[in-house]
């Protein structure tokens, strides 16, 4: 899957430092993207929890990358039912 992400990473590298880029994707590609941007080994991609509809923010600078927000779901109105839904999915 990481091979499929490489062309997208190349496109991201072409943006100017002042650009803001919104990425909407499934959890797997988001995990891989974060690992790539932070320079983490790909073996850790499953160690990042990315829930549906969660927000993550990664800031990139010439000097390095900062993970500012990871898997934030505070914008979801009914967080308790959201968590219950994931507990149900995990049992399946």
The bridge status of strand 64-72 relative to strand 55-61 is antiparallel
End-to-end CA distance of the chain: 24
Confidence of residue 84 (pLDDT cuts 50, 70, 90): low
pLDDT per residue as tens digits for the range 7-64: 999 999 899 888 999 999 999 999 999 999 999 999 999 999 999 999 999 999 889 9
Confidence of residue 91 (pLDDT cuts 50, 70, 90): low
DSSP code of residue 11? H
Q: Fold for domain 2-91?
A: Rossmann fold (3.40.50)
Confidence of residue 81 (pLDDT cuts 50, 70, 90): low
How many CB atoms are located within 10 Å of the residue 74 CB? 8
59, 34 Cβ separation under 8 angstroms: no
pLDDT of residue 62: 87
Specify which residues 65 forms β-bridges with: 60
């Amino acid at each position: 899957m990481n091979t499929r992400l490489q062309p997208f990473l190349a496109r991201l590298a072409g943006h100017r430092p002042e650009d803001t880029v919104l990425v909407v994707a499934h959890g797997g590609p988001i995990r891989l993207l974060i690992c790539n941007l932070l320079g983490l080994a790909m073996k850790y991609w499953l160690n990042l929890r990315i829930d549906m509809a969660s927000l993550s923010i990664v800031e990139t600078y010439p000097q390095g990358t900062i993970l500012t927000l990871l898997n934030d779901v505070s914008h979801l109105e009914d967080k308790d039912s959201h968590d219950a839904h994931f507990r149900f999915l995990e049992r399946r």
